[in-house]
Structure 1
Amino acid sequence: MGSQMDDGGANGGSSLIFLGTGCSSAVPNARCLIQPSDPPCKVCSDSLSIPPELNPNYRCNTSLLIDYLEDDGMSHRYILIDVGKCFREQVLRWFVRHKIPCVDSIILTHEHADAILGLDDIRIVQSHSPINDINPTPIYLTQFAMDSIAMKFSYLATKNLKEGQEVRRVAQLDWRIIESNHEKPFLCSGLEFVPLPVMHGEDYVCLGFLFGRKTRVAYISDISRFIPSTESVISKSGDRQLDLLILDTLYRGGSHNTHLCWDQTLDAVKRVCPKKALLIGMTHEYDHHKDNEILSEWSRQEGIPVQLAHDGLRLFIDI
């Protein structure tokens, strides 16, 4: 199973498109540019001279688009995981490049800003109707996330206008509640997803997701610690070996209270033992080329191919 960038449709099969592989503040970190250090941050400084589409160190908020080719071999369904602060930019850059016409359904890992603040812009990937006369996009989330979003985006969560309210064109969403339980899978645009609850700080449960009938993929973007039952579901020593693990790694050095970092991430990869792993959620501490060279050596020693993903990466797989 290899990865490749394409011209947006040369291969007609299913694929994963990494819309964003960065942390909440994204990369470049704006502080590095307006309050430069001495010497300046090389990763962030390069962003001013290298076009983002040619710079794997330019990272938007973590988000994955699943381009799912249905069994008829003709119909594509586009499933979006998380809609963060960078969503409009991701549409302009990667939907256009890869010729993605719409979003058929949305799944949310949690309700933090870097996962939901692009929800208002979902209307740009929906049909246009000045009176909102369109089919709403299904969006799958926990009740906890729903309650929080209903406060932040009341106009998106409200199903019916009150008397006297003006019609305003906003994203039309069909809110569907899922459970934080790996024994409660759900269907989304014809593809089954298994919720993978993990700790995102010791006071907060976030969801990852397991999907794929032919290629078994686990996507876990925000994690500080595995819950034992979740790790068992995705571990080689548990249910069945993953073909691909997509996993959080925030800092290159040290640790963090709400995210895995380099050492903890690689320890987790060894425990889970997938056939391949791609890392996401990186800050500006990571230099894509240098750290992938180090990961190549680690991969040879451990026997598990691991690399940093990058924005715009399109991975063709048989889901």
Structure 2
Amino acid sequence: MTITFLGTGTSQGVPVIGCNCGTCTSLDFRDKRLRSSIHIQIKDKSYVIDTGPDFRMQMLREGIKQLDAIIYTHEHKDHTAGLDDIRPFNFMQMKDMPIYGTKPVLDQIRKEFSYVFSPKKYPGVPQIITHEISNEPFEVLGTTFCPIEVLHYKLPVFGYRIHDFTYITDAKYISEVELKKIKGTKVLVLNALQIKEHLSHLTLAEALQIIEIIKPEKAYLTHISHRLGIHADIEKDLPENVFLAHDGLKITFDQCI
């Protein structure tokens, strides 16, 4: 299984338009962050979690020419806005794209991309098949995804555990019940927006507290704001098994299969 971080930034990305802070003006490529998303390759199957506004650029950058399914965490635009750009995959693969999400996610997609669901479709619109999911494990083309429900302020958001890998974004609170689903994970990806307290996202300290509870072999931080600071400065002070993810980072492991 290979995980590629397509984007590791927050809703505005990094750099932020018009900002002259040290992070936004950094020359380190690791401080250039598109909106959060990952690509998962398991044997011959290709999955993406979330299609944010940068989806097209992410697919081109990583040279992804096959996509078998899309799984959504929640309905916010920085996680769904790029859905229209699945059209090349429709054309190349000559089939509809399966998408998976909760009812609120699918309802929002139907609203935002109403032309996709029109009885009289304009030629060339995205072709999709929707699959409604709940907080129960579900299978996508032979791979089991176990939802981890977290709260993004008051909005339920799904993270996902696949084998020994868990990906969680946009969390502020994780209940004891959901934490139990994560335990035993060998690789954990968790959001860490910034240093200072935030209403709807984990801070760096809060993310590190959860990592200490779960005790994965390795943890990667994502959904990072320019307010967290410069990549090199933050990472040198992290525990030895915790890393800041960056766009384009790949992690590959065999023990999950």
Shared fold by TM > 0.5? yes
Matched, 1:247 2:215: no
Match of 2:50 in 1: 82
Percent sequence identity over matched residues? 33
Match of 2:175 in 1: 227
Q: Secondary structure at the match of 1:16?
A: strand
Match of 2:145 in 1: 193
8 Å CA contact 2:150–2:173 kept in 1: the answer is yes
User: For residues 316 and 268 of structure 1, what CA distance do their matches in structure 2 show?
Assistant: 23
Matched, 1:172 2:127: yes
Q: Please list the CA deviations of residues 231-264 of structure 1 after superposition, one character each: whole Å capped at 9, or x if unmatched.
A: 11112xxxxx21011000001x211111101111
Matched, 1:290 2:221: no
- Give the counterpart of 1:155 among 91, 101, 115: 115
Matched, 1:210 2:210: no
Match of 2:42 in 1: 68
1:315 positional shift? 0.9
Q: Secondary structure at the match of 2:18?
A: helix
TM-score (norm 1): 0.76
Match of 1:259 in 2: 201
- The structure richer in strand per residue is 2
Distance 1:117 1:17, change over 3 A: same
Matched, 1:102 2:66: yes
Q: Please list the CA deviations of residues 104-129 of structure 1 after superposition, one character each: whole Å capped at 9, or x if unmatched.
A: 10000001011100001111333259
Q: Secondary structure at the match of 2:38?
A: strand
1:93 positional shift? 1.4
1:167 positional shift? 3.3
Matched, 1:43 2:9: no
Match of 2:219 in 1: 277
Which letter does structure 2 place at the counterpart of 1:27? V
User: For residues 235 and 198 of structure 2, what CA distance do their matches in structure 1 show?
Assistant: 21
User: For residues 237 and 80 of structure 2, what CA distance do their matches in structure 1 show?
Assistant: 33
User: For residues 263 and 290 of structure 1, what CA distance do their matches in structure 2 show?
Assistant: 15
User: For residues 45 and 218 of structure 1, what CA distance do their matches in structure 2 show?
Assistant: 32
Q: Please list the CA deviations of residues 291-313 of structure 1 after superposition, one character each: whole Å capped at 9, or x if unmatched.
A: 11111xx33xxxxx000011001
User: For residues 248 and 101 of structure 1, what CA distance do their matches in structure 2 show?
Assistant: 28
1:157 positional shift? 3.4
Gap regions ≥5 residues in structure 2:
none
Q: Please list the CA deviations of residues 185-220 of structure 1 after superposition, one character each: whole Å capped at 9, or x if unmatched.
A: 11112110001111110x2100000112xxx01100
Larger radius of gyration: 1
Pairs aligned (count):
254
Which letter does structure 1 place at the counterpart of 2:56? R
User: For residues 88 and 35 of structure 2, what CA distance do their matches in structure 1 show?
Assistant: 18
8 Å CA contact 2:115–2:122 kept in 1: the answer is no
User: For residues 156 and 275 of structure 1, what CA distance do their matches in structure 2 show?
Assistant: 42
1:151 positional shift? 1.1
1:228 positional shift? 1.8
User: For residues 126 and 261 of structure 1, what CA distance do their matches in structure 2 show?
Assistant: 39
1:316 positional shift? 1.1
User: For residues 227 and 273 of structure 1, what CA distance do their matches in structure 2 show?
Assistant: 17
Which letter does structure 1 place at the counterpart of 2:143? L
Q: Secondary structure at the match of 2:85?
A: helix
Which letter does structure 2 place at the counterpart of 1:106? I
- Give the counterpart of 1:24 among 11, 26, 37: 11
User: For residues 41 and 57 of structure 2, what CA distance do their matches in structure 1 show?
Assistant: 19
TM-score (norm 2): 0.94
Q: Secondary structure at the match of 1:125?
A: helix
1:280 positional shift? 0.2
